[in-house]
Amino acid sequence: MTDIKRRDFFKLMGGAAGLALAGCSGAPMVSSSGELMPKTGRRVVVIGGGYGGTIAAKYVRMSDPSIEVVLVEKSKQFVSCPFSNLVIGGSYQLGDITIGYDKLASNHGVKVVHQEVTGVDAGAKKVVTAGGTLSYDRLIVSPGIGFRFEELEGYDAKATPAAMPHAWKAGEQTMILRKQLEAMKDGGTAIIAVPTTPYRCPPGPYERASQMAWYFKQAKPKSKIIILDANPDITSKGGLFKKGWEKHYKGMIEFRGNNKVVKVDHKKMTVDTGVEEIKGDVVNVIPPQRAADIAIKAGLVGEDKKWCPVDATTFESTIAKGIHVIGDACIAGAMPKSGYSANSEAKVCALNVVALMNGKAPIGLSGINTCYSFLTDKEAVSVAAVYKVDGGKIVSVKGAGGVSPDLSTLEGQYARSWIKNILVEMST
């Protein structure tokens, strides 16, 4: 849509529609049929405004401006999980990793609707929101993660996160954990409970331990951190994390593999592994994970009731035709659940959605992932990989990518450039 056409459209539709389309405050226009925004041409609806959803919406519009794109996201701003550990450690601020959606509308004609999605009617091709329905020709779902709270005995979905924050969705939870660390006495114990894989950001818990230790070293040097990991060993960049801990935080971080937390008590501030009960001054319980609630409600998860099976090339659901699932919620073979993976999947998905809508053959997947982890406020390590489809599955390309050779301040500079560039790409 050209700038002139977009201005004329807003003029014709009037102020109320403009508020709905731009995602500003005010009541969206709802038709007599309950449509939040009546469909007049070909339309792609995207659910979720994170690493996957923003890029998918943008790339559909860039690939074919004749397709209307509606991005549905409840929040007015997106807070990045990558780099949120540095907020917990104190070297970054929440505002440094927060973006808005206005420029997606003004630069690309993406129509942003801030509504909560309550359901999907795949048969009728409608997204159901708290404010009305949205019809679509194809739907891209990038909802992120949900939690399997029911697997932690004693976990109260309302009370426990306030006392034992997971901080695995960045924002309010990030700041709760940071403030608890600030209030903790010197000589106290912080516990991090790591769930069984797969979960969002495999190296995230170990970077978090590093950032807590960096803060403790500056402000509370007598304190310690216990990592209770449901997995046998550190799941990503393990050798480099252990080397960094020995170098910077000798005796401060204790790693215990095969220690799955099965029970919590937020009143006593204890966790139980089934073998022993451990008390902490600060307890960061990261629950086991699954696809977000809307993926469950929409019937997009597989028999395991956890993740969404998809076609490895187009990311179209193998359960619901015309619906594509990307990012943390989907089963993407060898690709990890990370921000960069979601970004990479979104681009391929968007191009293939446009191809399918125009009667063309899908393109093959060329996927990329890079993940940086900070050991201090400046030193970081990284892992990178390239992916392709082989035999209907996403696999790593042998010989491509790898783990950084050592801890490095240069890796930290690369990491800061990466977060800055990817957030700009998502928001402009």
Alpha-carbon distance 340 to 249, whole Å? 29
Q: How many residues does the chain have?
A: 428
Task: Give, for all 428 residues of the chain, the pLDDT tens digit.
Answer: 333 333 332 232 333 233 333 443 334 556 556 889 999 999 999 999 999 999 999 999 999 999 999 999 999 999 999 999 999 999 999 999 999 999 999 999 999 999 999 999 999 999 999 999 999 999 999 999 999 999 999 999 999 999 999 999 999 999 999 999 999 999 999 999 999 999 999 999 999 999 999 999 999 999 999 999 999 999 899 999 999 999 999 999 999 999 999 999 999 999 999 999 999 999 999 999 999 999 999 999 999 999 999 999 999 999 999 999 999 999 999 999 999 999 999 999 999 999 999 999 999 999 999 999 999 999 999 999 999 999 999 999 999 999 999 999 999 999 999 999 999 999 99
In three-state secondary structure terms, 401 is coil
For residue 212, which of 91, 33, 43 has the smallest C-alpha distance? 91
Alpha-carbon distance 342 to 355, whole Å? 20
Alpha-carbon distance 357 to 43, whole Å? 10
14 sits in which H/E element: helix 3-22
Contacts of 22 (CB under 8 A, 6+ apart): 102, 105, 111, 112
Residue 192 β-bridge partners: 227, 284
What was the pLDDT predicted at 288? 98
In contact, 106 and 119? CB cutoff 8 Å? no
| Sign of the four-CA dihedral 35, 40, 42, 47 | negative
Residue type, 285: V
Domains of the chain: 3-146+291-361 (3.50.50.60), 150-287 (3.50.50.60)
Alpha-carbon distance 325 to 337, whole Å? 13
**Tens of pLDDT, residues 69-99:** 999 999 999 999 999 999 999 999 999 999 9
The whole-chain average pLDDT of the chain stands at 93
What was the pLDDT predicted at 160? 98
φ and ψ of 66, to 5 deg: -75, -15
